[in-house]
Amino acid sequence: DVKVTQSSRYLVKRTGEKVFLECVQDMDHENMFWYRQDPGLGLRLIYFSYDVKMKEKGDIPEGYSVSREKKERFSLILESASTNQTSMYLCASRTYPANYGYTFGSGTRLTVV
């Protein structure tokens, strides 16, 4: 089975800190995605990457950046964490061509205080 591993299940950070959320997949998938999930808003796409060193903005990229230096790793960076970035963050990956939907990690619940 494909595994998508998010390094932390729970994270508490202070306002203004730089925060790194790590995501690693073990099946050589080309495409990787970062979503945030909030009650009543569903999943919203932050950034995605179709291949190494490639990145594209999703629907809500403000306040975030990403890094994809290796195919298996896709990092989400909060340059200066704010309380409105408290959320559940979900990473997903997908092969190309895509015969299946995404494979998701278990999520990181980030609290910014």
Partner 1 sequence: AQSVTQPDIHITVSEGASLELRCNYSYGATPYLFWYVQSPGQGLQLLLKYFSGDTLVQGIKGFEAEFKRSQSSFNLRKPSVHWSDAAEYFCAVAGNRDDKIIFGKGTRLHILP
Is 34 one of the binding residues for partner 1 (CB under 8 A)?
Answer: no
Q: Name the minimum Å distance from CB 72 to partner 1.
A: 17
55 binds partner 1 (CB under 8 A): no
Q: Which of 14, 62, 84, 99 binds partner 1 (CB under 8 A)?
A: 99
Region of 13-21, 35-43, 64-72, 73-81 interacting with partner 1 (CB under 8 A): 35-43
Distance CA(74)–CA(78), nearest Å, equals 13
Verify binding: residue 43, partner 1, rule CB under 8 A: yes
Is there binding between residue 96 and partner 1 (CB under 8 A)? Answer: yes
Contacts of 5 (CB under 8 A, 6+ apart): 23, 24, 25, 26, 105
Using CA atoms, how far apart are residues 16 and 105, in angstroms rounded to an integer? 26
CA–CA dist 19, 39 (Å, integer): 22
Q: Which secondary structure element, helix H or strand E, spans residue 57, and what is its range?
A: strand 56-57
42 is a contact residue toward partner 1 (CB under 8 A)? yes
Binding stretches for partner 1 (CB under 8 A)? 4, 31, 33, 35, 40-43, 45, 48, 58, 90, 92, 96-107
